[in-house]
Structure 1
Amino acid sequence: MLRQNNLAIVFLLLSLVYLGSSYQFPDIEYLKSLPEKYDSLLKELACKDLTKRSQLVNCEILMLPDDDTLLTDEDLALEWLEQINAIEVEKSYQGSIAGWNYATNMTDYNQEVKANVSYLKAAWGTIKTKQGRRFDWQNFKNPTLYRIFNLMLRGGKFDDSKQRERYNYVSTEMIDIYGKGQVCRPKGEKYPTREMEPTTKKECLTLEPELEDIIANSRDYDENLWVWKGWRDAVGRKIGELYPDWVELNNVAASNGGYADEGQIWRELYEIPNDGLEEMVDALYEEVKPMYKQLHAFIRRRLAEQYPGRVNRYGPIPAHLLGNMWAQQWNNIYDIAKPYRDVDIIDVTDAMVVQKYNQTHMFRIAERFFVSLGMDPMPENFWKYSMLVKPKDRDVVCHGSAYNFMKDREVRIKMCTEVDMEDLQTIHHEMGHCEYYLQYSDLPVIFRSGANPGFHEAVGDTIALSVVTPNYLHKINLMDTITSSKEATINYQMKIALSKIAFLPFGLMIDKWRWQVFRGNIKPEDYNDKWWEYRLKYQGLVPPIARSSKDFDPGAKYHIPSGTPYIRYFVSYLIQFQFHRALCKEAGFEGPLHECNIYESKEAGNALKEMLSYGTSQPWTDTLEVLTGKRKIDTSAIKEYFEPLMEWLEKENARNNEQIGWGMNKIEDELELLAEKLWEDEYQYNEEREWWY
């Protein structure tokens, strides 16, 4: 034990030298002390002055041998919550430090610390929940008090410490597999393209930026296949071995909390009566599905032209050809999709390079946009602690994320930023999270969240709808002139649609799949088959090679191993246009919605700040009404935004006699349509229906 402690001290000292003085360590001793220190907090508050009749009654209730008699004293509840909030601030801060340290330096030590912190936080959470359940909160008259208890006491719980430990281990292990995943070419191998020189040594590529760069920029069918399959082989199967255990443990905790399964907990966050979220999002998707099907038909034809004999003009699209590792957004194949090829593309990456932009400057540009609306600049600690560039000397989780440390207005962003237009938009998205954090930072911790999870995702993207306008890019000197021809408008809208419209079915199907997994309707042996059934049904996509039950392709997407609910993105991609339209109205903009730029509008900024300041202190429908005047998600805004493009696509698809849709053949049938060409390329097909070469 002494040797282990000495090694830990040595590691800490080395880390301080290695990472600099800005490195922080979570206060493990503080977290360890919480259960013992505050185990009797409620009793101490209730019994501190027995000369008062109310406190005497409260104290007597807590002295009873059972928990059936509930406390009705709302003053006591407020006093208890004040103490709890102070503890939650510090607990959240320590947890954020541990999570940040691991995400930005993926050592075994930091992994162990993160798991230990998660365990200690959960141990405190058990005590807090137990004390909270002693109140008769469902009959409280104070509506704010009622809402705090309602939010605080919902969710699952582990009654068994060993189950909690196992859950923490499995969760951390899956993230570790994903974060450290690599695709390697052995020494001397020529594949994926025959023109490539054989490697002189083993070459390993990480997801960001190497693999993503290849699949975004390569137009070689086989090279993209190598990358697509390689990433899923590197992380999918390993994560798939752990995922059933993770699902089972989540459901155990959910059952302990009185829920049918973990999916019900996720849906509860949206406060739709009678667990009605799934019905709501299904109905919303039906309203926008025609837009996606028109886009799908057009892109399928362009891909068939790009890859002759490789794409079925009337069926689904092979999933590795859309410029994105998960085919969730298609903006990277804009060069293939560009409607008018002789009209300039809206991409200011070259201008950023010429003007010698660096990563910090890109973040300053985003900050300037928010400040122009009258919102807050990033705090000093943001610039001190954020990770804006991928380190060369350690493993990190590159997936862009914003962190709220819940204390002293400390916010950070972790991102392996590249100097290009796409990351400029992503920076605005992540900084939108930070602005949201700052606007509700004075609320109790329990209210420091988005009105619903989709709100948080929508805020930065709403700003990005202004950021991508030629008007704004011209104002910040990244475009010399503003092109306003019909052809330029269609090109511009196509580029946005490849990110926004293309994403909608993906944003829906991930949690549609997971909800069925949590319900037990999809068994572990069927995880991958059902995954591709959903991708075919909603996206019109098929895997480029046969997949088997041994594969776990869902695990190739970060939000699966991280356990991050995904329906928030679907909601976000709809309400951001609703937000945008409302803010444009506040800014006094008149004209087509897609041309609106709210930069420098204090009126729009004030309206946005007011909406953000409520956090989750009231139902999201109330908060939506504050900005938009409506209490429901309205798809008319996204339809209005893309009206020029949709009119053009309908005419273009009709002119080319395109089939709108893709049929619903089984995955195996669709793969047969690819098989002949794959045979010609010297692939072999084994008895387990797996491709290898």
Structure 2
Amino acid sequence: MCFRVSSAQWAYSTNMTDFNKRRMIEEQTLKAKFDKVSWRKATEFDWTRMPDPTVRRQLRMLATKDRVALSDEKYNEIHHLISEMKDAYAHVRICDAAASRCDFDLTDAQRFMAQTRDAASLRHTWLQWHDAIGPRVRNKFMRYVDLANQAARLNGFSDASEAADTVYEDARLQDELAQTFGRILPLYKELFAYVRSKLYVAYGPDVVRIDGPLPAHLLGNMWAQEWSRIYDLVVPYPEFDKFDVTGELLRQGYTPLRIFQMAEEFYTSLGLKPMPPEFWRSSMLERPKSREAQCTASAWDFCNRIDYRIKQCTEVDMENFATAHHEMAHIEYYLHYSEQPFLFRDGANPGFHEGFANSILLSVVNPTHLYRVGLMNSNGSETSYEQNINFLMLQGLRKIAYAPFAYMMDQWRHLVFGSPDGVARMNSDWWSLRLRLQGIVPPSRRPENGFDAASKRHVPFDIPYVQYYVALLVEFQIFKSACRATDHRGPLHLCDIYRSREAGRILSEVLRMGKARHWKEVLAVLSRGGADGELSAEPLLEYFEPLFDWLRTANRKEPVIGWMSKREDFALYRPLVGATGARIWMNYRFLFVLFVIFFII
């Protein structure tokens, strides 16, 4: 069944015809029925009494499978709602700032947000996108929340957010996440203060308040989730080159195929597996010329232990060079756990796949590795202090800036699913969290009956997001463990694991486990007798320690490290009460999380 669905999805993704779309929908519908039958069979067993822990764990995974506990009518309805929300999202088109074109899709809008520095044009594009998607799916999402909560209660959970957390098999998950976020927050606030000072200079006091939160439309990204696209505005030492080897890749005559061959050589140098013949025969590594295809890069496991592929419309540039290594990391994970039982052919937890792939990039994009593969003229140890700070700033805009957004997304879901009136307050709760955890405000007043969270596709697509925050932590934990195996000396950000068989042995051991062992046991294996298998922010903080020190010095004259929230900030997303302040909406769970964070700080 997995092979059939994957094959149909691949066919449509690489050749977007109506026939292939109908076939994909038919297979997905059949898969939904198959899941329902599997759940019914699994619930015939009292899995809690099974003596074999492996069998017990697999039966529990099937018996508590989300949504299938609903009646057939409601089960079909929730899948139909999700499909309708996906379709609505895919067909949103907006007008550009000059109103000369009204066929901008999200890719066009994102490119515009990344390249434009005019505040009014950015504000227009931001508002167009949020106002276009929210009203289209709001009512559908409200019904989806109701059905998702019904399914969770039938499975014995209080609400759908609690049900989603159970895949981590850790009752303390939310506490651990809050603790790690509390450790990262001081570094984020220093980065925030520095970026705000640069945006204040670029846009002036009418757009950016020197001690306040940042408007969401100025950060080079539709959701202000990562800020690397405004690197040119905030680069600490602009006289030094940016770490971009696009020119060198072109000068040396790289092609998309050669980029992937180079990525494969990185993994085989560690002693990991080469790509199988089916990979090279069937992957889509360049944009097709004679048909329409989805160009979002992705790695595919066809579930038959033979067929693995990558879909990527590769261009010869630095970004695609990194993406090729990232996607091939997913293939390495697939190959290593392929001998596990089907239900264990997955990452140790939902964040491990992305965490492993991103940990590889920490090695691939740093100056040490780029020098070793002939794409830079100087190695990491020879780069100047200024170049190192520039590199860490670029990485910080990608990683540190992302941490609050990745953490906040499912905190918002907890409020929506867990409160009796969660859907009624979902827009004000969205911006309340963004202001408190991220220091971000909308560029203009947002209606209470709006639905700005829908602008991020993971919300209408029913995709949990906490996995990306977990992946961020795991990424640095894996990287530090691999670097320790290479006996690396010096700053962590300059470590390169290329050609280290010792690092490869540790990674191979972890990848082979798949989901067969609890993810905390996998982290314990990584630590080699060090930590006890807990999620930790310490490797991330070690990686960025030189930048943290630099930021504290650079921010000495800043009036506020972090942001001061004023009445007008709250007024952007909820009505004011009286003359003294704003009505504050939050439930007790959110208050507890905030207490833990600030207690740690």
The answer for the alignment partner of 1:154 in structure 2 is: 64
Shift, 1:347, TM fit: 1.5
Inter-CA distance 670–649: structure 2 relative to 1 (3 Å threshold): farther
Instruction: Report the TM-score when normalising by structure 1.
Output: 0.77
Inter-CA distance 328–603: structure 2 relative to 1 (3 Å threshold): same
Inter-CA distance 430–552: structure 2 relative to 1 (3 Å threshold): farther
Shift, 1:393, TM fit: 6.8
1:289 corresponds, among 185, 191, 211, to 185
1:263 corresponds, among 161, 182, 185, to 161
Shift, 1:277, TM fit: 1.7
Distance 2:169 2:17 in 1: 39
Inter-CA distance 121–530: structure 2 relative to 1 (3 Å threshold): same
Describe the superposition over 1:524-571 as per-residue Cα deviations: whole angstroms up to 9, x where unpaired: 332222211111111101111222234322122121122111111111
Instruction: Report the TM-score when normalising by structure 2.
Output: 0.89
Q: Which structure 2 residues correspond to residues 161-560 of structure 1 after superposition, within 5 A?
A: 161-185=72-96, 191-192=97-98, 199=100, 202=101, 204-208=103-107, 210-273=108-171, 276-309=172-205, 310-390=207-287, 397-482=294-379, 483-521=382-420, 523-560=422-459
Distance 2:351 2:548 in 1: 25
Describe the superposition over 1:287-346 as per-residue Cα deviations: whole angstroms up to 9, x where unpaired: 111010000000000011111231111001111111112111111111111111212221
Inter-CA distance 557–382: structure 2 relative to 1 (3 Å threshold): farther
Q: Is the 8 A contact 1:453 1:568 kept in 2?
A: yes
Distance 2:457 2:254 in 1: 29
Q: Which amino acid aligns with 2:175?
A: E
Describe the superposition over 1:47-104 as per-residue Cα deviations: whole angstroms up to 9, x where unpaired: xxxxxxxxxxxxxxxxxxxxxxxxxxxxxxxxxxxxxxxxxxxx11112223334444
Matched, 1:133 2:43: yes
Inter-CA distance 376–126: structure 2 relative to 1 (3 Å threshold): same
User: Please, which moves more after superposition, 238-247 or 390-399?
Assistant: 390-399
Q: Is the 8 A contact 1:357 1:419 kept in 2?
A: yes
Q: Is the 8 A contact 1:409 1:441 kept in 2?
A: no
Higher relative contact order (CA 8 A, sep 6+): 2
Inter-CA distance 353–211: structure 2 relative to 1 (3 Å threshold): farther
Q: Which amino acid aligns with 2:57?
A: R
The answer for the alignment partner of 1:609 in structure 2 is: 508
The answer for the alignment partner of 2:5 in structure 1 is: 95
Q: Give the gaps of 5 or more residues in structure 1.
A: 1-90, 186-190, 193-197, 673-693
Q: Is the 8 A contact 2:176 2:535 kept in 1?
A: no
* 2:415 aligned counterpart, secondary structure: helix
The answer for the alignment partner of 1:116 in structure 2 is: 26
Inter-CA distance 556–398: structure 2 relative to 1 (3 Å threshold): farther
Inter-CA distance 666–388: structure 2 relative to 1 (3 Å threshold): farther
Q: Is the 8 A contact 1:428 1:461 kept in 2?
A: no
Distance 1:419 1:666 in 2: 48
The answer for the alignment partner of 1:623 in structure 2 is: 522
Distance 1:522 1:414 in 2: 42
The answer for the alignment partner of 2:561 in structure 1 is: 660
Distance 2:92 2:294 in 1: 10
User: Please, which moves more after superposition, 220-229 or 539-548?
Assistant: 220-229
Distance 2:506 2:254 in 1: 31
Shift, 1:595, TM fit: 0.9
Shift, 1:231, TM fit: 2.5
Distance 1:184 1:584 in 2: 48
* 2:191 aligned counterpart, secondary structure: helix
User: Please, which moves more after superposition, 506-515 or 420-429?
Assistant: 420-429
Distance 2:257 2:139 in 1: 40
RMSD over aligned Cα atoms: 2.3
Q: Which amino acid aligns with 2:277?
A: E
Q: Give the gaps of 5 or more residues in structure 2.
A: 574-601
Shift, 1:112, TM fit: 4.2
Distance 1:423 1:623 in 2: 30
Distance 1:112 1:147 in 2: 35
Shift, 1:670, TM fit: 6.6
Q: Which amino acid aligns with 2:542?
A: E
Q: Work out which of the two has the higher radius of gyration on C-alpha atoms and give 1 or 2.
A: 1
Distance 1:121 1:175 in 2: 18
Inter-CA distance 124–228: structure 2 relative to 1 (3 Å threshold): same
Aligned length: 566
Q: Which amino acid aligns with 2:35?
A: G
Shift, 1:381, TM fit: 2.9
Distance 2:294 2:89 in 1: 8
